[in-house]
Chains A and B, each alone.
Chain A
Amino acid sequence: MAAAAAGPGPGSGPGDSPEGPEAEAPERRRKAHGMLKLYYGLSEGEAAGRPAGPDPLDPTDLNGAHFDPEVYLDKLRRECPLAQLMDSETDMVRQIRALDSDMQTLVYENYNKFISATDTIRKMKNDFRKMEDEMDRLATNMAVITDFSARISATLQDRHERITKLAGVHALLRKLQFLFELPSRLTKCVELGAYGQAVRYQGRARAVLQQYQHLPSFRAIQDDCQVITARLAQQLRQRFREGGSGAPEQAECVELLLALGEPAEELCEEFLAHARGRLEEELRSLEAELGPSPPAPDVLEFTDRGGSGFVGGLCQVAAAYQELFAAQGPAGAERLAAFARELGGRYFALVERRLAQEQGGGDNSLLVRALDRFHRRLRAPGALLAAAGLAEAATEIVERVARERLGHHLQGLRAAFLGCLTDVRQALAAPRLAGKEGPGLAELLANVASSILSHIKASLAAVHLFTAKEVSFSNKPYFRGEFCSQGVREGLIVGFIRSMCQTAQSFCDSPGEKGGATPPALLLLLSRLCLDYETATISYVLTLTDEQFLVQDQSPVTPVSTLCAEARETARRLLTHYVKVQGLVISQMLRKSVETRDWLSTLEPRNVRAVMKRVVEDTTAIDVQVGLLYEEGVRKAQSSDSSKRTFSVYSSSRQQGRYAPSYTPSAPMDTNLLSNIQKLFSERIDVFSPVEFNKVSVLTGIIKISLKTLLECVRLRTFGRFGLQQVQVDCHFLQLYLWRFVADEELVHLLLDEVVASAALRCPDPVPMEPSVVEVICERG
């Protein structure tokens, strides 16, 4: 170790400088390691995997193990100059001295330790010797003890075994005692009504009894137990069946019975059967309320009772069932669902019957509230029994009721409309009997319109209750979409307007066609009503509907324009029909007057025939009637100087009168030519042409029809001279009074001229009357 301090040699470390006396502590330690390794023949380099430093076997290495002083000296002497030799010698001396002093210090420092160590070792040697003796003694003692112990256990062995056996027997006996006591205990429990306790006992004993049932005594116990258990089960069932106890108690019973090992399936059945009994009781009471003769409570009360009685009961049953028979798995759930479906179906049937009674009329708000309750109550079992589809069925019922309600309202609206029509008919008929002008048509129209509108509004308001926010079913998709758009808008409003149009149109093609069935004034009024609908009411009503119901459905709805077009078409048809009917009335009058008269042997005309006056009167009446409802309309702008014009136009017909001598059969070509030329310049008259919505057009239509009839009838007759003159007078009279009703007075002139000309053609002796005389007669008449 001292060498380390003096180790300037190259072998002291790998690559270390030979001079390292002042090296640091780690370095020194490494050096020490190196020495140790060297000692054990391990080269540090090898250990570190590095190339070995100077050869450790080098005899010249001062610190090496194989140091050979002779070789070293030789080497020094040979290699080194004197000075160096001197130096090395000095150095060597110095090192030796240092080493000596170091050694001395070490010896001094460790001397005491050595001594005390030596003492300690000596003492230990003494102690160990003592201890050895004691250990020997202990060993002998232990041997003795072991011996004794073996002997004791050999002695006790027998007894121990017996004790163990006895303990086992004791436990067994206790169990047996329990078993033997079991029947009495059970009986007691049963007597006391502690069914739970009894079931627990029975549960504990059952397995054992099962195992040892081949032993007669156990068998007896088991038999006893079984009897008691059976009684117990019977009692439980009895209790279960006695419907008096509520559903929770029943549930307990079922739980106990299940614990008794009763077959779950059977219990399910029984449980459900029992529940069915109770629920059916509820249903019966509900049905009794329905009764054949319903002094029934109102529908709200009914659904309330149904909700709390039946639906509540169903909820309890379902909840209890699911709790008890959860182990039954899907089959059990299925059974419950079927059960709920069946009873629910019956309940629904009852509710529907009740609701059907409500359909007749009654209060919508009450109905909606009842439906709301009904629907709300069924949500609970719906959540509980998703499979039974009760909530869906309930929603369906509500939807159906809503639909029926809509139908009912539509029916109501129709009935109201028909009622209005009947009222109008009566109003139209009554004053005629009284012989004075009744309420004006305009007034009637206003009454009808307002009454229908108020009915529509009332229906809308009633139906609107179904979509009120607080109603539980109003957020169902049906009520949000289809109900609003298809049901209310299309079904109710559009349906009503359509049916109104149809009803009105049906007046046009009544099979009689004689016009006797429908008073013409009604036709006129309906026509105006439809026209008003077209212009305003339809769009108003539909806007109202859309606003109230916020139609969100995307399904196509009838646009306002289509409805308007329909209404307009209806109005037009009605008006056209009115024209036809009125035209027919006047035509018939004219036709009868022409056909029944003997024109050949008539006297010279003195007067205008009464029928012509009647025609003018009727036309005036019609004019007044139409004027009440329709605007004037436009005429051809030529009535500024109408009186003169009449006269001048008449003069043209008078001119034709002058041609009359040429009507003689001798010159038929001329007359034909004349009339043909005249016709070339006049437009063809479309007799039954569609009319416009104004008074003039209506009157023009009627007059056209009448005059054309007159023309055709005249052509079928043969006239004497005075007959022709009478026709002349009549036509002039008509001309005087009819021109002011029509849009184009030229039309009247044309037709009347045609009548006179035709009469002249049908006359073997055509001598026309002097126009001045004609005028005088007409003015006098």
Chain B
Amino acid sequence: MEAPPVTVMPVTGGTINMMEYLLQGSVLDQSLESLLHRLRGLCDNMEPESFSDHELVYLLKGQQGNPFMLRARRSLLHPTAPWHLRYLGQPEVGDKSRHALVRNCVDVAASHSLPEFLNEMGFRMDNEFVAKGQVFRKGVMKVVVSKLLRVLATGNTENTEPLSLSYLVELSVLAPAGQDTVSEDMRSFAEQLKPLVHLEKIDPKRLM
């Protein structure tokens, strides 16, 4: 029952601005196995982790400007694990030669009262989906291969149907702001996955 260490400033591990560097691509269902095989070879030697997550996208409409978006994700395989709340900022514009999409990222672990709490704050759920797949790691790089499924009845994750005939492949790194060597490393890794999958920087605005 020793007192926990008390410092003058509260301990806040995440005050450094973290940026997410992202490259995305996709593979058709029939090519999945060859991609997984290559990833198993290239990535760190450990059992690839399978996941099945339910993600809800919440929007807060303000008086002006774009609505504020938050993504709340929970694991369907580990129902007692905390919810994962994620804020993603606008992609950083400018350097066209930068190889990856860079945006500010804030990750918060939260208790199970999250959906009710977000509603009380004024957020409204915009859409939801289920993502199932595998996670691979190579050093700080994370490769996620996932199948996105549409939820047919709100809140019912049992009844889903695939959104497409392909798998989404995402290569990402979470790093403090200002580390530009990260996108170089990502690009060289992405080269090794060609021609199975072409990972590129996809600007979300172009899709709207």
State whether these chains interact. Answer: no
**Chain A residues at the B interface, C-beta cutoff of 8 Å:** none
